[in-house]
């Protein structure tokens, strides 16, 4: 780190080796492959976008570009090995900024470039909240209309360290990570096992299963599958019959001739599409209820 101000030449460049990264930089992972590609591009075309620094050389925005400029050694390419040396001077823009402003700009740059992993975002949000920032502050800086995304990221910190690492490495997808974080650490492995086995191969199934686990944990075993009354059994049989009827109805309109008939019906008859919209909406509601019940059943079996 430099104790004196960085010297900027007439071309707006500064000595690359005098710059230093921000220790509070939210981004912790810099993938080697893309970094090497950027390094080769900089050597061939130059650094087009300046690095934003404080007058003393701390990098506010552009650490990845600085790292690529500082790289040296041999890079293997399809054209063969290419030897590179550090770029001596890079274009910079100096900005007088407080530590708070530096943190805001660093977070904003990474967010806009989508450079942060979701775990890096979660850790950064937690850190800034501990420093006195509010969720509303974070939402304002990042241009979010609501703070739910902040809460969503923070929930990932409920994952065990092992699963957090897997999320950071891309071994667990974002949706899977969010759902796993909703249950206790002891249950997270159960969810992951079912994800890996392919049993929860859609988000709706995953959500329903996790909802079921949460319901069981908070309400206990409220479902006794062996104590259905005759009336309940009759209602279930009736429901099954109605579903079978809907399936038969849909099945009648799968061939080209029937599809043509549907088009004519829409043209000739006074059939309002709103009726179909209402039916679809109600069926989606029924589907949600059925998935919730199945989720609880699967959670009980797990």
Q: Active-site positions?
A: 63
How far apart (Å, rounded) are the C-alpha atoms in residues 287 and 243? 11
From the list 102, 127, 111, 5, the residue with the least C-alpha distance to 57 is 5
Is the Cβ–Cβ distance between 19 and 6 less than 8 Å?
yes
| Helices (H), ranges, the chain | 32-45, 63-70, 99-113, 118-130, 135-142, 148-155, 161-168, 174-180, 185-197, 203-219, 230-251, 256-268, 273-301
User: Rounded to whole angstroms, how far apart are CA atoms 299 and 302?
Assistant: 5
Distance CA 111, CA 93 (A): 20
**Sequence-ordered list of residues with C-beta below 8 angstroms from that of 28, at least 6 positions apart, any chain:** 120
Q: List phi, psi (to 5°) of 87.
A: -75, 125
Distance CA 272, CA 288 (A): 25
Residue 199, C-beta contacts closer than 8 angstroms, at least 6 positions apart: 205, 298
Buried b (16+ CB within 10 A) or exposed e, 147-186: eebbebbbbbebbeeebbebbbeeebeeebbbbbbbbeee
């Amino acid at each position: 780190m430099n104790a004196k101000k960085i010297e900027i030449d007439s071309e707006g460049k500064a000595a690359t080796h005098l710059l230093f990264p921000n220790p509070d930089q939210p981004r912790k992972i810099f993938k080697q492959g893309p970094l090497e590609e950027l390094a080769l591009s900089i050597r061939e075309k130059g650094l087009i976008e300046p690095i934003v620094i404080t007058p003393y050389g701390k990098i506010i925005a552009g650490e990845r570009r600085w790292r690529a400029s500082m790289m040296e050694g041999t890079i293997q390419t399809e054209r063969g090995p290419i030897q590179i040396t550090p770029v001596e001077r890079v274009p910079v823009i100096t900005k007088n900024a407080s530590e708070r402003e530096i943190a805001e700009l660093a977070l904003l740059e990474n967010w806009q470039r989508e450079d942060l992993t979701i775990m890096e975002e979660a850790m950064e949000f937690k850190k800034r909240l501990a420093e006195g920032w509010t969720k509303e502050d974070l939402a304002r800086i990042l241009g979010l209309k609501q703070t739910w995304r902040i809460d969503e990221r923070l929930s990932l910190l409920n994952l065990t360290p092992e699963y957090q690492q897997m999320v950071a490495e891309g071994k667990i997808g974002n949706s899977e990570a969010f759902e796993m974080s909703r249950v206790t650490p002891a249950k997270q492995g159960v969810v992951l096992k079912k994800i890996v086995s392919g049993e929860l191969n859609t988000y709706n199934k995953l959500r329903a299963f996790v909802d079921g686990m949460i319901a069981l944990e908070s309400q206990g075993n409220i479902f006794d599958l062996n104590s259905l009354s005759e009336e309940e059994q009759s209602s279930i049989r009736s429901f099954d019959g109605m579903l079978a009827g809907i399936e038969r109805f849909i099945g009648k309109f799968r061939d080209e001739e029937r599809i043509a008939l549907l088009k004519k019906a829409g043209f000739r008859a006074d059939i309002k599409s709103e009726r179909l919209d209402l039916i679809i909406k109600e069926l989606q509601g029924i589907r949600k209820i059925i998935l919730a019940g199945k989720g609880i059943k699967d959670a009980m079996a797990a």
